[in-house]
Amino acid sequence: MKFLSNNLARIQLVLCLILLSSCVSYMKRKECEKTNWFEFGHQAALKGIRPPAEPFYQECKKVEADIQGGELDKGFKTGMAKYCTPQQAIITGKEGMLFNDELCDARDVSSLKIKHAAGLKDYCSEKGGQRAGLSGKLYTKVCNDKDEELFFKGFNPARKKYLIAEIAAKERTAADVSRRLSQKQNRYNQVSRQSSRLQSRLYKKQLVTKTDTSSGVSHSEFVDVENPQVRSQLNMLNSESNTLSDEIRRLEAEEEALSESIQKLSIEMQTL
């Protein structure tokens, strides 16, 4: 008996994990399909990277989402034309990003690198570190050893402030998700109890008289007859139950993702 109980628990765990994975994939697919792929390609170019190198692009591809390749390509080309200008090269440096000269005309690369270095000088300072820390962007080792010390003098305290605020915001969101999840679970339990009670009333005994066509002899017997009103109520409850089940899985996945994110941010804060 204990062996069967353990096996049942394992099966239930596997099914739970499968359903959770399916729910996460569904949420990611919906997120991908709502994406403005022109803007995504445009922003990728301004960061100096090609769209397939973006983690989000790979996540969407993994869940077989509909990626609008034409819009993505147009957006990337538009962004690339802007990326390879002196003004954008300075901005790229000021934001602490490396300059990808592979995206630009070889004849312009030398002058663009000079502009990028000027922007990078502003970034690799104490004030630049403060701005970067508060922005939420991670440091990507673009400063030389001498400037890095000044950069981190501003970056670490600012990053800590950012993390404190971000953790607090995620904890508030997690509390709200937990509250909604509890409400959905309570309602699901109510629906289950109502369904069980109605199930016991679905059929009622009814005396029916039947006549044998060959002999003409009649006899009466009790048969189970379905109550159409109860069946209608059960169908409505089953529909609500299925909807609630989907919502519960979605909220559980969101709750888990928030918990992991908060834990990750908390670990980073301890290192500062």
Q: With a cut of 50, say whether residue 221 has pLDDT above it.
A: yes
pLDDT at 20 over 70: no
Give the pLDDT confidence of 170-207 residue by residue, as tens digits.
999 999 999 999 999 999 999 999 999 998 888 887 76
pLDDT at 18: 44
User: Residue 235: its pLDDT value, please?
Assistant: 94
Angstrom distances, CA of residue 57 to CA of 53, 70, 79: 7, 14, 17
What's the Cα-to-Cα distance from 250 to each of 12, 31, 48, 189, rounded to whole Å?
18, 13, 35, 17
Q: What H or E segment, with its residue span, contains residue 189?
A: helix 145-199
Nearest to 113 by CA among 140, 141, 93, 142: 93
Domains defined for the chain, CATH in brackets: 27-83 (no CATH), 85-124 (no CATH), 153-205+222-272 (1.10.287)
* pTM of model > 0.75: no
